Amino acid sequence: MSGFTLGKDILSYVAVGDSFTEGLDDPYPDSARFPQGRYRGWADRFAEHLARHVREVRYANLAVRGKLLRQILTEQLPRAVELRPDLVTLCAGGNDILRPGSDPDTLADAFEGAVRQLRDTGADVVIFTGFDTGFQPVMRHLRGKIATYNMHLRGIADRYHCRVVDLWSMKIFQDRRAWSDDRLHLSAEGHRRLALRVCEVMGVPVDEDWNAPWPQEPPAPWHQARQEDLRWARQHLVPWIHRRLTGRSSGDGVRPKRPNLEPLVRR
């Protein structure tokens, strides 16, 4: 890797992706400083860690919830290339994998083209694999498709000399406390731990351990677990299916939260 170094006076970083990178469901607690509905997420947290070791971090986050890979490549990739940052994090294809009939081989071909364009600018690129969904009953059937896509991503990373954040191997995310109520997005604690893992991959010093064991808690009674499943289906699964059937997306009308490379204010 050539562009990323903590020894720089100024480091530019662009995050590209969907809701995972936008930061759902990790809202900023300080509503006085941030607009309502503005999410923090692992990318903002990672940029904050960078800012503790670099004199000035210029950070843009182009990610928008609900975006498919082709939309990310059409709407975000040209802007990322135009900004010519030192570092790009790229996570895309997850929303495609969730849809019936999607082909991980075809997705990987498109993803590779994006990596090629970003590397041609001189940017260092960090790629994220998909999570292992074997522990989630509703999405367990996607495990094989995700694993196939992951193998493609690792091959792309090897060919273009990218670092990889291997979400599949992070067993810490097989705990419900790592996830928000919708079971699709990380919780605030999940985002915090992931930011620490990205720091580890990138060689950014931190004082906390992303893999620290979760505090022990008694298992929920069977009837409580079933009630939670029913509530989740009513509040999250049914609306998600309705959006798919009507051709709508949670990202309709949503703009990137940091469309420009701007100095990050240290928190």
Claim to verify: residue 195 and residue 233 sit in the same structural domain: no
The pLDDT value given to residue 115:
98
Q: State whether 112 and 241 are in the same domain.
A: no
Range of the domain at 238: 220-251
pLDDT at 6: 83
Q: Give the pLDDT confidence score for residue 87 in this predicted structure.
A: 98
Q: Can you give the pLDDT at residue 226?
A: 60
pLDDT along the chain (267 residues), means of 10: 74 97 90 68 97 96 96 98 98 93 97 98 98 86 96 98 98 93 90 98 97 86 59 56 60 86 83
Strand ranges (DSSP E) for the chain? Answer: 10-17, 56-61, 87-91, 124-128, 163-165, 258-263
- Give the predicted TM-score (pTM) of the model: 0.89
On whether both 241 and 207 belong to a single domain, the answer is: no
Note the pLDDT of residue 77. Answer: 98
**Backbone dihedral angles phi then psi of residue 51, each to the nearest 5 degrees:** -65, -15
Q: 96 and 117, same structural domain? A: yes
Say if residue 104 is in the same domain as residue 225: no
Structural domains of the chain, count: 2
Q: Is residue 74 part of a domain?
A: yes
Residues 6+ apart with CB under 8 A from 211: 170, 172, 193, 197
Please indicate, yes or no, if residue 75 is contained in any of the structural domains.
Answer: yes
Same-domain pairing of 169 and 230: no
191-196 contacts, C-beta under 8 A, 24 or more apart: 191/23, 191/26, 191/40, 191/41, 191/42, 191/45, 192/26, 192/42, 192/45, 194/42, 194/165, 194/167, 194/170, 195/42, 195/43, 195/45, 195/46, 195/48, 195/49, 196/49
* Structure confidence by residue, pLDDT tens digits, 58-78: 999 999 999 999 999 999 999
The CATH number linked to 199 is 3.40.50.1110
Query: Is 5 within a domain?
Result: no
- Let me know whether 161 and 235 are in one domain: no
